[in-house]
């Protein structure tokens, strides 16, 4: 029994993002010219949906290798972009690719909720491109995001409008266990929240956001094509 418990603990604490993006890391070391919010990264709006970022403080929640954050830091004149990711492997790749962009780009290895809770009223804009919003319990993440925004600040994120398999999004706040791999290649699972738009809207409202709007970005081509749900919300002004 003890051995079994040790295996479960080790699997639960493993970096399940260890393998993600490694092939691209070796072949593409550029700062992207743009990025797309859609699942296929091949259609839909670009970063201009965030508005004029000049002089603003911005954070990418679940930044991975920080490609989107690097684009914003180089091309959109923010005061600073903070790229937050809990994965040691993703953080290491981001440092290798874009560490030279410090201080305008700050690369932070941290649990996203913990980072947001430690930064009340810090940010003008928070965003996530299939990042931490997808993989963090939303009743923990969204209130922390609202608190980390200045009054009138905004959150923008893209998420799956349905499962990649074609199954519909959840009608309640429920996660699915999706396949992943440990650094050693062993099978594992991680939690992902694929929710209906009305569920996201309710969660955002309860977390302290207003002016909530959603857009459906139709899937592009390909065997794993999926529609994207994009949501924008603004932190309510202080009373």
Q: Residue 110 has which token pair?
A: 């941290």
Task: Confirm if 110 and 86 have CB atoms less than 8 A apart.
Answer: yes
- How confident is the model at residue 99, as a pLDDT? 97
- The angle subtended at Cα 25 by Cα 111 and Cα 231, nearest 5°, is 50
Beta strands in 86-236 (DSSP E): 105-109, 123-129, 149-160, 175-181, 187-193, 209-217, 228-235
Cis-peptide, bond into residue 103, ω within 30° of zero = yes
Average pLDDT of 51-70? Answer: 98
For residue range 89-133, what is the model confidence (pLDDT) as tens digits? 999 999 999 999 999 999 999 999 999 999 999 999 999 999 999
Q: How many domains does the chain have?
A: 1
Percentage with pLDDT > 90 across the chain: 84
Mean of per-residue pLDDT scores for the chain: 92
Contact, 178 vs 193, CB < 8 A? Answer: no
- Asked if 59 and 72 count as a contact pair (C-beta separation under 8 A), the reply is no
List for the chain the helix, strand, coil content (%; round to 5). Answer: 30, 30, 40
> Helix, strand, or coil here: 2?
helix
Kindly report, residue by residue over 164-212, the tens digit of the pLDDT.
999 999 999 999 999 999 999 999 999 999 999 999 999 999 999 999 9
Provide the 8-state DSSP code for 169.
P
CATH number (domain holding residue 208): 3.40.50.150
Tokens, residue 71: 């684009």
Of 137, 142, 112, 131, which is closest to residue 203 (Cα–Cα)?
142
Determine the structural domain holding residue 140 and report its residue range. 2-235
Closest by CA position to 94, among listed 70, 58, 75, 112: 70
């Amino acid at each position: 029994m003890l051995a079994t418990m040790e295996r479960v603990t080790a699997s639960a604490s493993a970096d399940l993002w260890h393998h993600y993006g490694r092939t691209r890391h070796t072949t593409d070391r550029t700062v992207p010219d743009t990025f797309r919010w859609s699942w296929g990264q091949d259609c839909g709006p670009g970063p201009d949906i965030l508005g004029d970022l000049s002089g603003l403080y911005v954070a990418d929640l679940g930044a991975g290798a920080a490609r989107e954050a690097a684009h914003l830091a180089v091309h959109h004149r923010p005061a600073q972009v903070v790229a937050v990711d809990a994965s040691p492997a993703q953080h290491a790749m981001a440092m290798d690719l874009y560490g030279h962009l410090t201080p305008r780009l700050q690369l932070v290895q941290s649990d996203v909720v913990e980072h947001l809770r430690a930064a009340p009223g810090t940010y003008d804009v928070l965003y996530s491109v299939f990042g931490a919003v997808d993989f963090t319990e939303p009743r923990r993440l969204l209130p922390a995001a609202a608190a980390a925004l200045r009054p009138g600040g905004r959150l923008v994120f893209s998420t799956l409008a349905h499962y990649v398999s074609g199954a519909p999004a959840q009608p309640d706040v429920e996660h699915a266990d999706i396949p992943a791999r440990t650094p050693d290649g062993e099978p594992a699972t991680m939690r992902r929240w694929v929710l209906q738009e009305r569920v996201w809207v309710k969660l955002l409202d309860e977390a302290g956001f207003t002016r909530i709007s959603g857009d459906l970005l139709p899937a592009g081509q390909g065997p794993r094509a999926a529609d994207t749900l994009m949501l924008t919300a603004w932190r309510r002004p202080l009373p």
